[in-house]
Amino acid sequence: MGDIRLVVGLGNPGREYETSRHNIGFRVVDKLAADAGGRWQSKSKFEAAVTEAQFGGRTVLLAKPRTFMNASGRSCAALLHWHKLAPEQMLVVVDDADLDVGRLRVREKGSAGGHRGLFSIAQCAGSERYPRVRIGIGRPEPGRATDGLVDFVLSRFREDERARVDEAVARAAKAVECAVARGMAAAMNEFNG
């Protein structure tokens, strides 16, 4: 695995999606940018907003694709190509409906697991071998219609979930900082479980 040089938070652009469960990846990179004093700039050649940050003396590019979630791979592939990076040098921060609200899972690689944003990245980057930080957003209540998951990921967190979500965003940002500064193995040891 190479050193992480690019951190991509996944979400959907637009005010109507800002606080949705699906946009928790955006929230994490927004926190990283704010903590590092970064200012987002829109870059049409990447279909993304980008800024730089330093963690542990290492400079990384932070990015938020301006495509919709299901087309995130276009932006990621453009960023990788332009900066001459391997997929292993890109860490993706993403929501995970298979994890309880607020739970983190840090991995060096893996499958899309049904997540269309991750599937798009694997298709466009030609690899599933990129690190990721998954943040649990929970699942809809049993008995909902089959489109319930789509509606659910686009919904807002409930009031009783917000404290756990805020804590998870802060922990995920720390996990990213650890992965950049000390490597994925250190981040997995410290933040999984």
Question: Is 93 contained in some domain?
Answer: yes
Whether the per-residue pLDDT at 2 is higher than 90: the answer is: no
- Between 76-80, 82-86, 106-110, 144-148, the lowest mean confidence (pLDDT) is in 144-148
- DSSP bridge pairs for 53: 60
Do the domain assignments include residue 161?
Answer: yes
Which one of 22, 81, 83, 115 is the catalytic residue? 22
Q: Is 2 exposed, middle or buried (0-12, 13-18, 19+ CB in 10 A)?
A: exposed
Report whether pLDDT(46) > 50: yes
Q: What is the mean pLDDT of the chain?
A: 92
Return the CATH number at 12: 3.40.50.1470
For residue 17, being part of any structural domain is answered with yes
> Has residue 1 been placed in a domain?
no
Q: For residue 22, is it within any domain?
A: yes
The total of structural domains in the chain comes to 1
Asked if residue 101 belongs to a domain, the reply is yes
- Residue from 10, 48, 24, 12 nearest 138 by CA: 24
Residues 40, 45, 5, 8: is their CA dihedral positive or negative?
A: positive
C-alpha to C-alpha distance for 61 and 150, rounded to whole angstroms: 30
Amino acid identity of residue 136, one-letter, is G
22 included as an active-site residue: yes
pLDDT band at 26 (very low <50, low <70, confident <90, very high): very high
Instruction: Give Cβ neighbours of residue 95 (< 8 Å, ≥ 6 apart).
Output: 10, 21, 22, 23, 24, 25, 115, 134, 135, 136, 137, 153
Strand-by-strand arrangement of the 48-55 sheet = 41-43, 48-55, 58-65, 6-9, 90-96, 132-136, 104-107
Range of the domain at 64: 6-191
